[in-house]
Protein backbone atom coordinates (compact mmCIF):
# COMPACT_ATOMS: atom_id res chain seq x y z
CA UNK A 1 0.00 0.00 0.00
CA UNK A 2 1.27 3.44 -0.91
CA UNK A 3 1.03 6.33 1.53
CA UNK A 4 -1.33 8.18 -0.83
CA UNK A 5 -3.23 5.32 -2.45
CA UNK A 6 -6.31 6.62 -4.30
CA UNK A 7 -5.79 10.19 -3.08
CA UNK A 8 -6.33 13.08 -5.49
CA UNK A 9 -3.42 15.51 -5.16
CA UNK A 10 -3.05 18.95 -6.73
CA UNK A 11 0.48 20.34 -6.92
CA UNK A 12 0.09 24.05 -7.67
CA UNK A 13 3.20 25.23 -9.46
CA UNK A 14 4.26 21.66 -9.99
CA UNK A 15 5.73 21.55 -13.49
CA UNK A 16 9.38 21.81 -12.38
CA UNK A 17 11.67 21.95 -9.36
CA UNK A 18 10.31 20.93 -5.98
CA UNK A 19 6.76 20.79 -7.31
CA UNK A 20 7.67 18.30 -10.03
CA UNK A 21 9.54 16.19 -7.49
CA UNK A 22 6.45 16.19 -5.26
CA UNK A 23 4.30 15.11 -8.21
CA UNK A 24 6.63 12.18 -8.93
CA UNK A 25 6.73 11.14 -5.28
CA UNK A 26 2.95 11.37 -4.96
CA UNK A 27 2.41 9.16 -8.01
CA UNK A 28 4.87 6.63 -6.60
CA UNK A 29 2.86 6.72 -3.37
CA UNK A 30 -0.30 5.79 -5.28
CA UNK A 31 -1.95 9.17 -5.83
CA UNK A 32 -3.73 10.63 -8.82
CA UNK A 33 -1.91 13.90 -9.47
CA UNK A 34 -2.70 17.19 -11.18
CA UNK A 35 0.04 19.77 -11.70
CA UNK A 36 -0.24 23.39 -12.77
CA UNK A 37 2.17 25.63 -14.64
CA UNK A 38 2.28 28.69 -16.86
CA UNK A 39 4.22 26.98 -19.64
CA UNK A 40 2.68 23.92 -21.30
CA UNK A 41 5.89 22.23 -22.47
CA UNK A 42 7.44 21.28 -19.09
CA UNK A 43 4.05 20.46 -17.59
CA UNK A 44 3.02 18.19 -20.42
CA UNK A 45 6.45 16.55 -20.45
CA UNK A 46 6.17 15.81 -16.73
CA UNK A 47 2.70 14.33 -17.11
CA UNK A 48 3.94 12.16 -19.99
CA UNK A 49 6.68 10.81 -17.74
CA UNK A 50 4.24 10.12 -14.92
CA UNK A 51 1.68 8.35 -17.08
CA UNK A 52 4.31 6.37 -19.00
CA UNK A 53 5.14 4.60 -15.76
CA UNK A 54 1.51 3.71 -15.18
CA UNK A 55 0.57 6.71 -13.05
CA UNK A 56 -2.51 8.88 -13.39
CA UNK A 57 -1.78 12.57 -13.92
CA UNK A 58 -2.99 15.68 -15.69
CA UNK A 59 -1.57 19.12 -16.47
CA UNK A 60 -3.53 22.35 -15.99
CA UNK A 61 -2.16 25.47 -17.62
CA UNK A 62 -2.65 28.41 -15.27
CA UNK A 63 -1.10 31.65 -14.11
CA UNK A 64 -1.54 31.46 -10.35
CA UNK A 65 -0.80 35.15 -9.92
CA UNK A 66 -4.37 35.59 -11.14
CA UNK A 67 -6.57 34.89 -8.10
CA UNK A 68 -9.37 33.65 -10.31
CA UNK A 69 -7.15 31.05 -11.94
CA UNK A 70 -5.76 30.03 -8.55
CA UNK A 71 -9.29 29.04 -7.59
CA UNK A 72 -10.38 27.53 -10.88
CA UNK A 73 -7.49 25.04 -10.99
CA UNK A 74 -9.04 23.38 -7.95
CA UNK A 75 -12.36 23.31 -9.78
CA UNK A 76 -10.66 21.69 -12.76
CA UNK A 77 -9.33 18.93 -10.51
CA UNK A 78 -12.72 18.35 -8.92
CA UNK A 79 -14.35 18.26 -12.34
CA UNK A 80 -11.85 15.68 -13.56
CA UNK A 81 -11.63 13.44 -10.50
CA UNK A 82 -14.65 14.25 -8.37
CA UNK A 83 -12.75 15.70 -5.41
CA UNK A 84 -9.49 17.02 -4.06
CA UNK A 85 -7.90 15.26 -1.09
CA UNK A 86 -4.51 16.94 -0.91
CA UNK A 87 -3.05 20.27 -2.00
CA UNK A 88 0.59 21.30 -2.28
CA UNK A 89 1.41 24.95 -2.90
CA UNK A 90 4.86 24.99 -4.47
CA UNK A 91 4.75 27.96 -6.84
CA UNK A 92 7.24 30.66 -5.97
CA UNK A 93 8.84 33.86 -7.23
CA UNK A 94 12.38 34.61 -6.03
CA UNK A 95 13.32 37.71 -8.04
CA UNK A 96 15.47 40.10 -6.05
CA UNK A 97 14.65 43.38 -4.35
CA UNK A 98 15.75 45.26 -1.23
CA UNK A 99 13.67 47.49 0.99
CA UNK A 100 15.04 50.50 -0.89
CA UNK A 101 14.89 49.40 -4.53
CA UNK A 102 11.72 47.29 -4.62
CA UNK A 103 9.05 48.88 -6.77
CA UNK A 104 5.33 48.59 -6.00
CA UNK A 105 5.02 46.43 -9.11
CA UNK A 106 7.67 43.96 -7.91
CA UNK A 107 6.16 43.88 -4.44
CA UNK A 108 2.70 43.16 -5.83
CA UNK A 109 4.09 40.40 -8.03
CA UNK A 110 5.62 38.67 -5.01
CA UNK A 111 2.42 38.97 -3.03
CA UNK A 112 0.38 37.65 -5.95
CA UNK A 113 2.45 34.49 -6.44
CA UNK A 114 3.92 33.77 -3.02
CA UNK A 115 0.92 34.64 -0.84
CA UNK A 116 -2.31 35.40 -2.68
CA UNK A 117 -2.14 32.33 -4.94
CA UNK A 118 -1.84 29.83 -2.07
CA UNK A 119 -4.56 31.70 -0.16
CA UNK A 120 -7.07 31.14 -2.93
CA UNK A 121 -6.04 27.60 -3.86
CA UNK A 122 -6.44 26.72 -0.18
CA UNK A 123 -9.79 28.48 -0.08
CA UNK A 124 -11.11 26.47 -3.02
CA UNK A 125 -9.67 23.18 -1.77
CA UNK A 126 -11.12 23.61 1.71
CA UNK A 127 -14.50 24.53 0.21
CA UNK A 128 -14.55 21.19 -1.64
CA UNK A 129 -13.49 19.24 1.45
CA UNK A 130 -16.16 20.93 3.57
CA UNK A 131 -18.85 20.31 0.94
CA UNK A 132 -18.14 16.60 1.21
CA UNK A 133 -17.53 16.68 4.99
CA UNK A 134 -14.26 14.94 4.18
CA UNK A 135 -10.81 15.23 5.74
CA UNK A 136 -7.91 16.60 3.73
CA UNK A 137 -4.31 17.72 3.91
CA UNK A 138 -2.44 20.76 2.63
CA UNK A 139 1.30 21.46 2.56
CA UNK A 140 2.68 24.89 1.73
CA UNK A 141 6.26 25.10 0.47
CA UNK A 142 7.64 28.20 2.15
CA UNK A 143 11.30 29.17 2.84
CA UNK A 144 13.77 29.42 5.69
CA UNK A 145 14.17 33.04 4.60
CA UNK A 146 10.74 33.70 6.11
CA UNK A 147 12.64 34.09 9.40
CA UNK A 148 14.38 37.18 8.00
CA UNK A 149 16.44 36.32 4.94
CA UNK A 150 19.00 38.35 3.03
CA UNK A 151 18.55 42.08 2.40
CA UNK A 152 18.02 41.43 -1.34
CA UNK A 153 14.98 39.26 -0.65
CA UNK A 154 12.76 41.89 0.99
CA UNK A 155 9.52 41.41 -1.02
CA UNK A 156 10.02 37.63 -1.13
CA UNK A 157 10.45 37.48 2.64
CA UNK A 158 7.42 39.72 3.21
CA UNK A 159 5.18 37.45 1.13
CA UNK A 160 6.52 34.15 2.44
CA UNK A 161 6.37 35.29 6.06
CA UNK A 162 2.72 36.04 5.36
CA UNK A 163 2.30 32.47 4.13
CA UNK A 164 3.71 31.19 7.44
CA UNK A 165 1.01 33.09 9.30
CA UNK A 166 -1.68 31.98 6.86
CA UNK A 167 -0.66 28.33 7.24
CA UNK A 168 -1.09 28.48 11.01
CA UNK A 169 -4.29 30.51 10.85
CA UNK A 170 -5.98 28.17 8.38
CA UNK A 171 -4.81 25.09 10.29
CA UNK A 172 -6.33 26.45 13.48
CA UNK A 173 -9.56 27.42 11.73
CA UNK A 174 -10.13 24.00 10.19
CA UNK A 175 -8.70 21.54 12.68
CA UNK A 176 -12.21 20.50 13.76
CA UNK A 177 -12.98 19.76 10.11
CA UNK A 178 -10.07 17.24 10.11
CA UNK A 179 -8.27 19.32 7.50
CA UNK A 180 -4.58 19.38 8.36
CA UNK A 181 -2.44 22.23 7.04
CA UNK A 182 1.34 22.37 7.46
CA UNK A 183 4.30 24.14 5.89
CA UNK A 184 7.95 23.55 5.08
CA UNK A 185 10.55 26.29 5.41
CA UNK A 186 13.01 24.85 2.90
CA UNK A 187 16.60 26.03 2.67
CA UNK A 188 18.88 26.44 -0.34
CA UNK A 189 17.74 23.84 -2.86
CA UNK A 190 19.14 22.63 -6.18
CA UNK A 191 16.35 23.34 -8.67
CA UNK A 192 16.09 24.60 -12.23
CA UNK A 193 14.65 27.84 -10.93
CA UNK A 194 17.50 28.37 -8.50
CA UNK A 195 20.01 27.74 -11.28
CA UNK A 196 18.38 30.46 -13.37
CA UNK A 197 18.24 32.82 -10.39
CA UNK A 198 21.91 32.36 -9.50
CA UNK A 199 22.98 33.04 -13.07
CA UNK A 200 20.62 35.95 -13.64
CA UNK A 201 21.13 37.84 -10.38
CA UNK A 202 24.50 36.71 -9.04
CA UNK A 203 26.61 36.04 -12.12
CA UNK A 204 27.07 32.39 -11.18
CA UNK A 205 28.83 29.97 -13.51
CA UNK A 206 27.80 26.43 -14.35
CA UNK A 207 29.76 25.10 -11.35
CA UNK A 208 27.93 27.20 -8.73
CA UNK A 209 26.23 24.14 -7.19
CA UNK A 210 29.55 22.47 -6.35
CA UNK A 211 30.95 25.71 -4.94
CA UNK A 212 27.85 26.28 -2.84
CA UNK A 213 27.74 22.68 -1.59
CA UNK A 214 31.33 22.88 -0.37
CA UNK A 215 30.33 25.69 1.99
CA UNK A 216 27.33 23.91 3.49
CA UNK A 217 27.37 21.68 6.62
CA UNK A 218 26.08 18.55 4.85
CA UNK A 219 28.24 19.14 1.79
CA UNK A 220 25.27 19.47 -0.54
CA UNK A 221 22.31 21.67 -1.31
CA UNK A 222 18.81 20.52 -0.45
CA UNK A 223 17.52 17.99 -2.95
CA UNK A 224 13.99 18.22 -4.41
CA UNK A 225 13.38 14.46 -4.13
CA UNK A 226 14.21 14.52 -0.42
CA UNK A 227 11.80 17.38 0.16
CA UNK A 228 9.18 15.57 -1.91
CA UNK A 229 9.33 12.45 0.25
CA UNK A 230 8.79 14.59 3.33
CA UNK A 231 5.84 16.34 1.71
CA UNK A 232 4.23 13.00 0.89
CA UNK A 233 4.65 11.99 4.53
CA UNK A 234 2.92 15.19 5.68
CA UNK A 235 0.10 14.65 3.19
CA UNK A 236 -0.42 11.09 4.36
CA UNK A 237 -2.12 9.64 7.41
CA UNK A 238 1.31 8.53 8.66
CA UNK A 239 1.91 12.08 9.88
CA UNK A 240 -0.94 11.56 12.30
CA UNK A 241 -2.64 14.58 13.83
CA UNK A 242 0.08 17.13 13.00
CA UNK A 243 -1.37 20.43 11.85
CA UNK A 244 -0.30 24.06 12.01
CA UNK A 245 3.37 23.12 11.98
CA UNK A 246 5.87 25.08 9.89
CA UNK A 247 8.96 22.90 9.83
CA UNK A 248 12.45 24.21 9.13
CA UNK A 249 13.71 21.79 6.48
CA UNK A 250 17.26 23.10 6.39
CA UNK A 251 20.82 22.37 7.48
CA UNK A 252 21.31 25.74 9.16
CA UNK A 253 19.90 26.02 12.68
CA UNK A 254 17.80 29.05 13.52
CA UNK A 255 19.52 30.98 16.31
CA UNK A 256 22.75 28.98 16.04
CA UNK A 257 25.90 31.13 15.92
CA UNK A 258 29.52 30.30 15.04
- Show which residues are catalytic: 156
Which residues lie closer than 8 Å to 38 by C-beta, 6 or more apart?
Answer: 61, 62, 63
Helix axes 154-173, 117-131, angle to 10 degrees: 10
What SS3 class is residue 36?
strand
Distance in angstroms (rounded) separating the CA atoms of residues 191 and 125: 27
Distance in angstroms (rounded) separating the CA atoms of residues 104 and 76: 32
Selection from 145, 164, 152, 18 nearest residue 95 by Cα: 152
Distance in angstroms (rounded) separating the CA atoms of residues 69 and 63: 6
Q: Is 13 left (phi over 0), alpha (psi -120 to 50) or beta?
A: left
State phi, psi for 157 to the nearest 5 degrees: -65, -45
Which residues lie closer than 8 Å to 243 by C-beta, 6 or more apart?
Answer: 171, 175, 179, 180, 181, 182
Work out whether strand 246-249 and strand 179-186 pair parallel, antiparallel, or are unpaired. Answer: parallel
Let me know the angle formed at the C-alpha of 97 by 96 and 102, rounded to the nearest 5 degrees: 145
Through-space distance between the first and last CA atoms of the chain, rounded to whole angstroms: 45
Amino acid sequence: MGLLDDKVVLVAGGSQGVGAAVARAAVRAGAVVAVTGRRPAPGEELVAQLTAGGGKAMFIRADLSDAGQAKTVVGDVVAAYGRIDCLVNSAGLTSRGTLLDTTPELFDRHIAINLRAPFFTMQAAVEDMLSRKAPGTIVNIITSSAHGGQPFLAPYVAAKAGLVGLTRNAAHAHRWDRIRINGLNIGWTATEGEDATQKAFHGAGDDWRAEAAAKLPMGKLGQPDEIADFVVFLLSERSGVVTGSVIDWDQNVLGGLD
